Structure 1
């Protein structure tokens, strides 16, 4: 009888523990996404209202490509580089925004991304809120150099979940109070070290895999996120070049 009771109690504890673990997983994978997405959407609306408009992106972001998993950008880094002339008049924001402040909106129509951009890449103050974080000491939108940003791939809004689907020529639009900047995706690095600072340098080139990157100054955009899914072991990188800018 004592043995049966012991087995029964053990089974009950196992079931209870399983339910607790399941609830934690649901919270992490579903609830944090819903909460962060809602917060990010409200922030985008607040910025647009502050700027006095309804949003001036390159058209509405679509849901094309939603539902797939796993960023593995297939654009060949050896593809012939198309050198675009720098803009004649770049009215990019010259003063760095306050830390954790959302000050721009990033739109990627091909994968349905609309997310606020905030200064810094802290998890609690930026990334876990569903925002895209701007790497300190990299260029601001439209400036010469490299406008480099990071975003979660899984949980907390996961704005960069599907950047593996981006292909050469896809648009990435950055809206600020002053102007709207359109970058075109150019190259990608499917996997590199989390400490590969070369990918966000002013002239981005991987320090780990130097065959990936650029060799001349320009007006670059860098998107970074974790890979493989549900890990933070490596980084996936997508690069773009500034194609146009227009005042708001």
Structure 2
């Protein structure tokens, strides 16, 4: 076993060999295979920026043939008599873990890596200014430009607002057509029906010629639960849009009245919106009752046939003997007309009936209204 060399003073008057931070050396240093070996003391390294160069070392000096350590650059005034050096102020390196290579590896992993290194934290993004530091004018302008929306964003916002506004308007229009027009028409038709019955009870109205838009009868379709006033004419504004049933009483589509001895009593009404009294007349079948109530009489008709689709120009369905109805001789008929398909006015739907009973009001309601 090699004996330790006697300590000697540093050529510059610093710590003796074999010490670290002023403490004596802990003993032989471990080698790379886990054993221990004795290292000969090395010559002190000259301090850059120290008090001055020391004596030259040549062959035969203690540092000759030794491995040279990295030189440490000392800051001015950091060393000297009575002042600790940088090496003494720094933390001492971790002592080698006893127990061989496996123990040293475990200890190195616990310290942050196999070789005892530590991970540096990731640098902060360059764009983010330090905490508490006000932005410079250039940085403030750059951030303002980034926050300001571009032309494409502004255009997309404008288009989106137009679409939203259009959608809201369309929704309001559909609500008005499908709901509000029915509410208004039902109220107007109900008011007209009550007014007719009050006038009949008081004797204010008499059968005769009626003005356009004037109510003169009430239509009952028991199967569809329809009760609607009948007014003269088929004007949308004056009659149909008010939820009433219109009578074809004007040339060139003038039809007979219910009390005529022969003829065709032609009626029209909306199938959708504005009260839609004829919405479900396509459900009528042969034998269903249609009753027309006037001031003095109930006229009862029975459905005989239907025409699901025909062009609006087919006015022959209103003839005294309607074309396509199956009737071959003059009689007392009724014709109901409306638009088809629903929510369109492209074609017409026709329902025909034949009078089977004429009952005075003094005898009470007919069986078709009681059942």
TM-score normalised by L of structure 1: 0.79
1:129 to 203, 225, 242: 242
Within the alignment, does 1:239 sit opposite 2:352 as a pair? yes
Within the alignment, does 1:109 sit opposite 2:186 as a pair? no
RMSD over aligned Cα atoms = 1.4
2:128 aligned partner? none
Q: The residue matched to 1:52 in structure 2 has which SS?
A: helix
Write the distance in 1 (CA, Å) between the matches of 2:332 and 2:302: 11
1:20 aligned partner? 169
Where in structure 2 are the equivalents of 1:203-222 lying within 5 Å?
A: 203-206=321-324, 212-222=325-335
Q: The residue matched to 1:216 in structure 2 has which SS?
A: coil
1:195 aligned partner? 313
Write the distance in 2 (CA, Å) between the matches of 1:19 and 1:105: 39
2:271 to 122, 135, 153: 153
2:159 to 6, 10, 18: 10
2:184 to 27, 35, 38: 35
- Aligned-pair CA distance for 1:213: 3.4
Write the distance in 2 (CA, Å) between the matches of 1:142 and 1:244: 12
Q: Encode CA deviations 1:153-191: one digit per residue, 9 max, x unaligned.
A: 011000000001111111111011121111111111111
Within the alignment, does 1:141 sit opposite 2:258 as a pair? yes
Q: Encode CA deviations 1:184-218: one digit per residue, 9 max, x unaligned.
A: 11111111110111101111114xxxxx4322111
Higher relative contact order (CA 8 A, sep 6+): 1
Write the distance in 2 (CA, Å) between the matches of 1:218 and 1:191: 24
2:127 aligned partner? none
Q: Is the 8 A contact 1:199 1:205 kept in 2?
A: yes
Write the distance in 1 (CA, Å) between the matches of 2:241 and 2:273: 8
Q: The residue matched to 2:307 in structure 1 has which SS?
A: strand
Look at both structures and tell me which one has the larger radius of gyration over its CA atoms: 2
Report the structure, 1 or 2, having the larger strand content.
1
Q: Encode CA deviations 1:102-128: one digit per residue, 9 max, x unaligned.
A: 110000010011000000001100001
1:185 to 284, 294, 303: 303
Q: Which runs of 4+ in 1 moved over 3 A?
A: none
TM-score normalised by L of structure 2: 0.54
Write the distance in 1 (CA, Å) between the matches of 2:169 and 2:211: 39
Q: Encode CA deviations 1:58-114: one digit per residue, 9 max, x unaligned.
A: xxxxxxxxxxxxxxxxxxxxxxxxxxxxxxxxxx94x32111101100000100110
Write the distance in 2 (CA, Å) between the matches of 1:42 and 1:118: 13
Write the distance in 2 (CA, Å) between the matches of 1:36 and 1:213: 34
- Aligned-pair CA distance for 1:142: 3.2
1:46 to 183, 195, 201: 195
Question: Unpaired segments of 5 or more residues in structure 2?
Answer: 1-149, 362-371
